[in-house]
Amino acid sequence: MDIISEINKRKTFGIVSHPDAGKTTLTEKLLLFGGAIQIAGAVKSNKIKKHATSDFMEIEKQRGISVATSVMAFDYRDRRVNILDTPGHKDFAEDTYRTISAVDSAIVVIDVAKGVEEQTKKLVSVCRMRNIPMIVFINKLDREGKDAFDLLDEVETLLGLSVCPLSWPVGMGQRFQGVYNIYESKLVLFRPHSKQTQEDVIELDPDDHESLEKHLGKNPTKQLGEDLGVINQIYDPFEIEKYLNGEQSPVFFGSAVNNFGVKELLDCFVEIAPAPLPRVTEERAVLPLESAFTGFVFKIHANIDPKHRDRIAFVRVVSGVFRKNTPYNHIRLEKMLRFPNPTSFMASKKSIVDEAFPGDIVGLYDSGNFKIGDTLTEGEILHFKGIPSFSPEEFRAVVNTNPMKRKQLDKGVEQLMDEGVAQLFTTLETGKKIIGTVGALQFEVIQYRLEHEYGASCSYDPINIHKALWVSCEDKKAFEFFKSRRKRDLAMDKDGKLVFLADSGWAIQMAKENHPEVNFYEKSEF
């Protein structure tokens, strides 16, 4: 097969949701359809279970599992589908943000009873920043939930998405009868426990009330007719161009655990979802069709066994063909590297690959060469953009509790930061090392891993920081003035970028008022 066909058949996407909305269940059902797994229950959740929030041994175990479930590839209707797993737990949100940089589209799962939840809002806002096309799947229709129109309103107002329902539920909970597939003009009758058969999918014009009534009964048919009429009036018809530009989100209804509505979602997804998209670098945009290989590291996974301290760097192929044992330019290290055992994640099993195409993810064994965001090319100097750090929400100062192990601590902290476990800020005035994370859980993970993997020990001092804001200023004099006045509050991030550590929202406001020439950013790429 030629490279153009290889590229066009690839669909690389992520499922984003608030924990418990049904991401793992939906992933599993998609894999069943793709033949990647044979039985339900084969996909172990990558999520950190609710009860385990302070049990980091459990986290470590789950981290082990999550290597296998980080990327799952399968073939479906002549397409190669790559699902990138995104941790739902809020303390791992950074990981999810970075994974979003490697996908070309997303499916947003929403629980019909809970509606739009906090984590969904955050993740969708990151997808929107990148204009990623999104399909919404409203899950758990076998349970009582919110009114479908109210839910669509929530999606529009709280997520800022312009929706277009492509299926519509008939009843819900006890009265749930199925969905009308607007996209394909089919009535799909609900059978619990995946008992649906071919006969339950009936091609039916939405105006054929008589036939609808035979299957649904009088009142539900009347209701469906009214609902479809309202949909026609208030929502714009589906336009693929709008979806691909991130301006319109198709919505499907179903029940993942009952395997209902999932096939409709997948069939539509493989048809409309974008093929691998170009990516921007500091130098230029890179198109998938370019013949030279380029790619970037968006995730690093450490081996949890301390005897084998190797890591897997996950590389998204952006252009050309990645080939085993071929020397590639590691731009940051200015070094040619070759990879004898690149790994693919086909059918949720790891296996060595000879080549990988744009849209694919390859896992490279790494002994410490990679940082998140690193670029690989055949030679050209390029730096991929789009993996910013966001201001952490929790900060603590690192204290070395074993002076004999200073070096181990420094190395451990540096490598964990390269993996993207947390962010490190070094204060300008005192050189104090401050770790910033999205959630408190990371501090325990870091402490545990420093001890078990690097033989170093540390404790944390509380520190009063509200936010870390990256700063820039065109006016050199004004910048110098700012730096001299706020020296005590300034630090360097791991890439040497200047950061303002504000102890309150008020401090940010004051700094902005007193230094109007200075720009303050909540993320490291601006």
**Residue 90 or residue 449: which is nearer to ligand G4P going by CB?**
90
- In angstroms, what is the minimal distance from the CB of 44 to ligand G4P? 10
261 near ligand G4P, rule: CB under 6 A: no
Structure tokens at 29: 């059902």
> Cα–chain-centroid distance for residue 320?
24
Residues 497-526 that bind ligand G4P (CB under 6 A): none
**Residue 19 or residue 392: which is nearer to ligand G4P going by CB?**
19
Burial level of 210, CB count in 10 A (0-12/13-18/19+)? exposed
* Element (DSSP H or E) covering residue 58: helix 56-69
104 near ligand G4P, rule: CB under 6 A: no
Q: Where are the beta strands (DSSP E) in 194-253?
A: 201-203, 249-253
Burial level of 359, CB count in 10 A (0-12/13-18/19+)? buried
Q: Kindly tell me which residue out of 9, 10, 11, 23 binds ligand G4P, with binding defined by CB under 6 A.
A: 23
- In angstroms, what is the minimal distance from the CB of 359 to ligand G4P? 24
458 near ligand G4P, rule: CB under 6 A: no
x/- mask, ligand G4P, residues 46-65, rule CB under 6 A, reads -x------------------
SS3 content of the chain, % helix, strand, coil (to 5): 35, 30, 40
95 near ligand G4P, rule: CB under 6 A: no
The answer to whether 421 and 445 are in contact (CB under 8 A) is yes
Please spell the DSSP secondary structure of 300-352, one letter per residue. Answer: EEE-S-TTS--EEEEEEEEES-EETT--EEETTTTEEE--S--EE-BTTS-EE
88 near ligand G4P, rule: CB under 6 A: yes
21 near ligand G4P, rule: CB under 6 A: yes
Q: Kindly tell me which residue out of 10, 13, 14, 19 binds ligand G4P, with binding defined by CB under 6 A.
A: 19
Residues 216-255 that bind ligand G4P (CB under 6 A): 255
- In angstroms, what is the minimal distance from the CB of 86 to ligand G4P? 10
d(CA 420, CA 97): 11
* Element (DSSP H or E) covering residue 189: strand 186-189
**Residue 22 or residue 295: which is nearer to ligand G4P going by CB?**
22
Q: Kindly tell me which residue out of 6, 9, 12, 24 binds ligand G4P, with binding defined by CB under 6 A.
A: 24
Beta bridge partner(s), residue 138: 110, 253
12 near ligand G4P, rule: CB under 6 A: no
Structure tokens at 321: 């063909």
Q: Kindly tell me which residue out of 6, 20, 95, 453 binds ligand G4P, with binding defined by CB under 6 A.
A: 20
- In angstroms, what is the minimal distance from the CB of 28 to ligand G4P? 8
264 near ligand G4P, rule: CB under 6 A: no
Helix-then-strand count for the chain, H and E: 14, 31
30 near ligand G4P, rule: CB under 6 A: no
- In angstroms, what is the minimal distance from the CB of 15 to ligand G4P? 8
d(CA 466, CA 503): 5
The answer to whether 331 and 311 are in contact (CB under 8 A) is no
**Residue 20 or residue 374: which is nearer to ligand G4P going by CB?**
20
Q: Kindly tell me which residue out of 13, 14, 22, 84 binds ligand G4P, with binding defined by CB under 6 A.
A: 22
d(CA 55, CA 279): 38
Residues 111-140 that bind ligand G4P (CB under 6 A): 139-140
178 near ligand G4P, rule: CB under 6 A: no
489 near ligand G4P, rule: CB under 6 A: no
d(CA 53, CA 59): 8
389 near ligand G4P, rule: CB under 6 A: no
- In angstroms, what is the minimal distance from the CB of 61 to ligand G4P? 17
* Stretch near ligand G4P under the rule CB under 6 A, chosen from 21-29, 125-133, 356-364, 430-438: 21-29
257 near ligand G4P, rule: CB under 6 A: yes
- In angstroms, what is the minimal distance from the CB of 157 to ligand G4P? 22
Give the Å distances, CA to CA, from 334 to 190, 281, 362.
58, 17, 21
167 near ligand G4P, rule: CB under 6 A: no
The answer to whether 397 and 443 are in contact (CB under 8 A) is no
Residue ranges in contact with ligand G4P by CB under 6 A: 17, 19-25, 45, 47, 88, 139-140, 142-143, 255-258
